[in-house]
Amino acid sequence: MTLDMAAPLKSGWRRVKFGDVVRLSKARSQNPLADGLERYVGLEHLEPGDLRIRSWGNVADGTTFTNRFEPGQVLFGKRRAYQRKVAVADFAGVCSGDIYVLESKDADVLLPELLPFICQTDAFFEHAVGTSAGSLSPRTNWTSLADFVLLLPPMLRQKELIKLCRAAYECVQSIEQACQAFGSVIQAQKDVLGDGASLLKAKEYLLSALLVRSPESGCSAPPKDASTGHFVLGLASLSRRGYVSGDFKAVEPSSKMLAARLTPGDLLISRSNTADRVGYVGIFTDERNDISFPDTMMRLKSNPSLIDPRYLEALLQATPAREYLMRIAAGTSASMKKINRANLLNMPLRVPPLEDQRVFLSTLDTFRKAMSGQLERLETARSFARKAAAMALDGG
């Protein structure tokens, strides 16, 4: 959205460039652990539309990140800005180079509490996306962001605006809490499976006995900036709760890459990832045939006479399974761990008859549908909060 530079403004308002009132922090930490920093944040830890940082990695597990941030500073994801990843830090740490650390230059000119709401407006994101370069992983740059023109209210209006935005955000948070509650219920349902002791009809199997063939390896290739018509999944495609669509990289469709092409319903497991994310599983759900999986993942083909793939996904997402997978993950790298295929196949699992599996999946679907409804409400509330901020910042 381009501002009309000739339009009249309310008294006390003024047009400013983002870079005139906001500073890009260049603080660095070459040895975060020695500097007393315990957490690191990557793009995968920032949730679209959520101003809070709810997950992170542990510096002690290893990280190459050096961008330092402090409580109160704003973290803005410059890569794939259309994902709307903005958060306010409530702890000190280091973050990815794909995250800008922003702060108000002068609290007497721009109140720091207003900055994250400015960064959440549609106009700011449209500018960030419009100035991004690169077809594979488009990134905006600070010079372009600094040129964004905004209407800055007088200090009294800024304080009123912060109250308005916080009230809207509190509404968002209340719905987020409902979503988290549904998520906890769903996870508790999966953990009942993982416990196994309560499943009287369940039989114990090794994972190898539940598959029709050995786990298949994927294929990785150097990403291409130009369009190739074919893609490979990124590491962030698998999360604690399952498959996440949208993290694709363009690659050449070689014979090996095409052999790793996915079809909807394929069950994937991350065999190589950071210590806190290795072993994530998810079912590929995109209705398309131009995506392959990388060699950091394996494809599991379940035996339909013994286990439903959706049940196997839930079983591998249960807390006991997560603990097992993280325990068998190994490697010399402090930041990346790998799961050995033989150890994976020796994983013990308790599985009930198919009819009991279907009863469980039906219950799980009920909770998932309820959560889906809450997620729709959440997106509506976030959209309202953005529009409320934009209207209050119009200066007209």
Q: How many CB atoms lie within 10 A of CB 239?
A: 17
Measured CA to CA, the distance from residue 383 to residue 236 in angstroms comes to 25
Q: Which secondary structure element, helix H or strand E, spans residue 66, and what is its range?
A: none
Contact 205, 348 (CB under 8 A): yes
Altogether, the residues listed in the chain come to a count of 396
Residue 188: CB atoms within 10 A of its CB come to 12
SS3 call for 65: coil
Question: Can you tell me whether residue 348 is helix, strand or coil?
Answer: strand
Nearest to 217 by CA among 248, 246, 259, 273: 259
Tell me the C-alpha distance between 236 and 46, whole Å.
11
pLDDT score of 334: 56
**Euclidean distance between the first and final Cα of the chain, in Å?**
15
Q: Which two tokens stand for residue 392?
A: 């209050």
CA neighbor of 294 nearest in space, from 312, 270, 314: 270
172: three-class secondary structure by DSSP:
helix
Residue with tokens 């839930």: 314
CA torsion through residues 248, 251, 253, 259, sign: negative
- Spatial distance between the Cα atoms of 395 and 150, rounded to a whole number of angstroms: 9
From the list 201, 183, 200, the residue with the least C-alpha distance to 191 is 183
Q: Which residue type occupies 310? A: R
Cβ(216)–Cβ(295) under 8 Å?
A: no
Q: What is the pLDDT of residue 294?
A: 95
- Strand 86-88, strand 74-77: pairing: antiparallel
- Which tokens go with 312? 């196997």
In angstroms, the Cα distances linking 236 to 121, 244, 249 are 25, 7, 11
User: Do 258 and 294 meet the contact criterion of CB atoms below 8 Å apart?
Assistant: no
Q: Which of 280, 287, 284 is nearest to 235 (CA)?
A: 280
Q: What is the largest CA-CA distance in the chain?
A: 75
CA 302 – CA 364 distance, rounded (Å): 19
pTM of the model: 0.67
| Inter-helix orientation angle 319-328/309-317, to 10° | 70
CA distances from 44 to 77, 238, 300 (A): 10, 10, 24
Helices marked H in the chain — which ranges? 18-21, 115-119, 122-130, 142-146, 155-195, 255-259, 309-317, 319-328, 341-345, 354-392
- What does 35-56 look like in DSSP terms, one character per residue? TT--EEE-GGGSPTT--S----
Query: Residue with structure tokens 């108000």?
Result: 104
Measured CA to CA, the distance from residue 103 to residue 22 in angstroms comes to 6
Strand partners, 377: none
What pLDDT tens digit does each residue of the chain (396 aa) get? 444 445 677 888 899 999 999 999 999 999 999 999 999 999 989 988 888 998 899 999 889 999 999 999 999 999 889 889 999 999 999 999 999 999 999 999 999 999 999 998 889 999 999 999 876 678 999 999 999 999 999 999 899 888 888 888 888 888 888 888 888 888 888 887 766 555 667 899 999 999 999 999 999 888 887 788 999 998 889 998 899 888 888 899 999 999 999 999 999 999 988 877 899 999 999 999 999 999 999 999 999 999 999 999 999 999 999 999 999 988 766 567 899 999 999 999 999 999 989 988 998 888 888 888 888 888 888 888 877 777 767 754
* DSSP 3-state of 203: strand
